[in-house]
């Protein structure tokens, strides 16, 4: 099994069809809710921690985001060298169409 902690997940490892995708967990729904507020914007993990007002912890954010990328709810990429200020390049996350539909289904199931 490849190490998925901080690396991107290859497309071949993502779900093949939507039927294989489960409903978002509570924490995933928090992330999806923040991402849906600005669906075309890429976000850094730390931005999501800050915006969550304590619902997503800095120790768990990468586990949650890695799982969401693996499930096809989010896409990720490492910022280009020109975008990086100093230090290591950071990973950016963006909502997918599947993530939007998953959040809508989660909201419907909670109603």
Start-end of H helices in the chain: 26-37, 45-51, 61-70, 97-110
Nearest to 95 by CA among 71, 74, 70: 74
Whether residue 93 contacts residue 71, with contact meaning beta carbons closer than 8 Å, is answered with no
What pLDDT is stored for residue 41 in this prediction?
93
**What value, to the nearest 5°, has the Cα angle with vertex 36 and ends 60 and 103?**
75
Percent of the chain with pLDDT over 90: 50
The number of angstroms, rounded, from the C-alpha of 80 to the middle of its chain's C-alpha atoms is 19
Q: Which residue has the higher pLDDT, 12 or 111?
A: 111
> What are the C-alpha distances in Å from 64 to residues 28, 58, 61, 91, 93?
7, 10, 5, 14, 12
Mean pLDDT over 96-105 rounds to 87
Picking from 11-20, 39-48, 87-96, which range would have the lowest pLDDT averaged per residue? 11-20
pTM: 0.74
User: What pLDDT shows up at residue 73?
Assistant: 93
Tell me the two tokens of residue 3: 């190490």
């Amino acid at each position: 099994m490849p190490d998925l902690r901080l690396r991107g997940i290859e497309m071949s490892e993502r779900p093949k069809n939507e039927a294989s995708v489960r409903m978002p967990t509570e924490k995933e729904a928090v992330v999806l809710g923040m991402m849906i507020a600005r669906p075309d914007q890429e976000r850094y993990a730390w931005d999501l921690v800050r915006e969550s007002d304590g619902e997503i912890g800095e120790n768990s954010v990468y586990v949650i985001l890695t799982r969401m990328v693996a499930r096809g709810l989010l896409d990720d990429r490492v910022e280009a060298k020109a975008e990086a200020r100093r230090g290591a390049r950071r990973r950016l996350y963006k909502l997918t169409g599947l993530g939007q539909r998953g959040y809508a289904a989660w909201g419907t199931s909670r109603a």
